[in-house]
Amino acid sequence: MAAQFDLKKSSNGKFFFSLKAGNGQVILNSEMYEAKASATNGIESVKKNAPEDARYDRLSAKDGSPYFTLKATNGQVIGQSQMYSSEATRDAGIESVKTNAPGAAVNDLTSA
């Protein structure tokens, strides 16, 4: 399976997307968007910004779990990772987004 973005509609009517690696594991989740077009624009922003290392913030949660966010050129967060068990696995997650996001197809599940 190739990497893909899953575009979905939540139970409250908002839209969001997840980037899945080739193994099916989610490596990045978006915020909630009011409109489908905004979520689609978010996907395009992830594709554009993913290769740029400076767009990633390497962070730690309150419990110390490492994670990262991906920001657009305007500084807005466009995606957040899961919590990782170590900084090394978090950094591998960033590399996965850099590699997979630019060419990932969009799987539109909003009408499913």
Q: What is the pLDDT of residues 80-92, one digit of tens each?
A: 999 999 999 999 9
Residue 96's domain comprises: 4-108
CATH code of the domain covering residue 68? 2.30.29.80
Percent of the chain whose pLDDT exceeds 70: 98
Mean pLDDT calculated for residue range 55-59: 98
Q: Assess whether pLDDT exceeds 90 at residue 111.
A: no
pLDDT recorded at residue 2: 87
pLDDT at 57 over 80: yes
Q: What is the pLDDT of residues 25-56, one digit of tens each?
A: 999 999 999 999 999 999 999 999 999 999 99
CB 26 within 8 A of CB 33: no
Structural domains counted in the chain: 1
Concatenate the DSSP letters of all residues of 13-60 into one string. Answer: S-EEEEEE-TTS-EEEE---BSSHHHHHHHHHHHHHHTT-GGGEEEEE
User: Cβ(107)–Cβ(6) under 8 Å?
Assistant: yes
From residue 3, alpha-carbon distances to 10, 53, 74, 107 in Å are 22, 19, 26, 10
